[in-house]
């Protein structure tokens, strides 16, 4: 039984080859480019499994990585292989400090945008206030040549017979008489 890790593009290239005997690694053969950069660890569990860890990756290591198992099938007396779906590893070379600078730059842009929006809103309000004051000063209501005629209504005669309050002033006596 054996296990190999390949990378797929631009051509298939073997990264590491593991020779297995009874589920244990008997030999490990990494490609020259990956010597010292790959670590193999067997996973514990009922099924046979391995963890392959690549380190010191650079932009040239961006690729599709997949595993290929070879085993001997006792029923058919032939060697068979199984291929995994694979994993795409993308490596970008960026300075971690660069990410912090980008966040500061984003915050500065947000603050400047908010300030610009506030200034524009303030200018619009100021323009409306100035326009309203000018309109108020120059406003003269339109008046006709003659005032509108009043409707002809008969004069209402107020009854003077029953006043509510009579006041009599006497030099000797001051009193008020209220009649209801």
Sign of CA dihedral 124, 130, 136, 142: negative
Question: Which is higher by pLDDT, 117 or 151?
Answer: 117
Question: Which is higher by pLDDT, 126 or 160?
Answer: 126
In sequence order, which ranges of the chain are alpha helices (DSSP H)?
96-138
Cis peptide before 10 (omega within 30 of 0): yes
Inter-residue long-range contacts of 15-22, CB under 8 Å, 24+ positions, other chains counted: 15/54, 15/65, 16/40, 16/52, 18/50, 20/48
Q: Average pLDDT of 39-43? A: 84
- Break the chain into its structural domains and give their ranges: 2-89, 94-126
Asked if 3 and 24 touch (Cβ cutoff 8 Å), the reply is: no
pLDDT at 146 over 90: no
pLDDT at 48 over 90: no
Per-residue pLDDT, 40? 86
Burial-class residue 68 by CB neighbours within 10 Å (0-12, 13-18, 19+). Answer: middle
Q: Average pLDDT of 167-180? A: 48
- Among residues 151, 152, 174, 177, the alpha carbon closest in space to that of 166 is found at 177
Question: Using 50, 70 and 90 to split pLDDT, how confident is the model at 46?
Answer: confident
Per-residue pLDDT, 163? 52
Per-residue pLDDT, 156? 66
What's the pLDDT tens digit per position in 85-126?
888 988 887 766 666 666 778 888 999 999 999 999 999 999
pLDDT at 21 over 90: no
Contacts of 81 by beta carbon, 8 Å cutoff, 6+ apart: 68, 69, 70, 71
Thinking of the domain 2-89, which architecture would CATH place it in?
Sandwich (2.60)
Question: Using 50, 70 and 90 to split pLDDT, how confident is the model at 159?
Answer: low
Rounded Cα distance between 2 and 70, Å, is: 5
* Share of residues in the chain with pLDDT > 90 (%): 13
Lowest mean pLDDT among 18-27, 38-47, 171-180: 171-180
Question: Which is higher by pLDDT, 129 or 24?
Answer: 129
């Amino acid at each position: 039984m054996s296990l190999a890790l390949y990378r797929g593009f631009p051509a298939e290239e073997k990264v590491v080859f593991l020779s297995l005997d009874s589920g244990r690694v008997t030999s490990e053969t990494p490609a020259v480019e990956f010597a010292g950069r790959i670590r193999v660890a067997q996973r514990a569990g009922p099924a046979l499994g391995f963890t392959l860890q690549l380190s010191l990756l650079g932009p040239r290591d961006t690729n599709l990585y997949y595993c290929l198992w070879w085993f001997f099938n006792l029923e058919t007396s032939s060697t068979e292989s199984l291929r995994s779906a694979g994993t795409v590893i993308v490596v970008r070379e960026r300075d971690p400090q660069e990410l912090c600078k980008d966040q500061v730059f984003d915050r500065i842009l947000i603050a400047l945008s908010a300030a610009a929006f506030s200034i524009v809103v303030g200018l619009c309000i100021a323009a409306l206030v100035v326009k309203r004051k000018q309109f108020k000063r120059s406003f003269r209501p339109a008046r006709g040549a003659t005032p509108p005629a009043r409707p002809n209504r008969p004069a209402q005669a107020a009854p003077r017979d029953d006043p509510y309050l009579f006041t009599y002033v006497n030099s000797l006596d001051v009193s008020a008489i209220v009649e209801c």
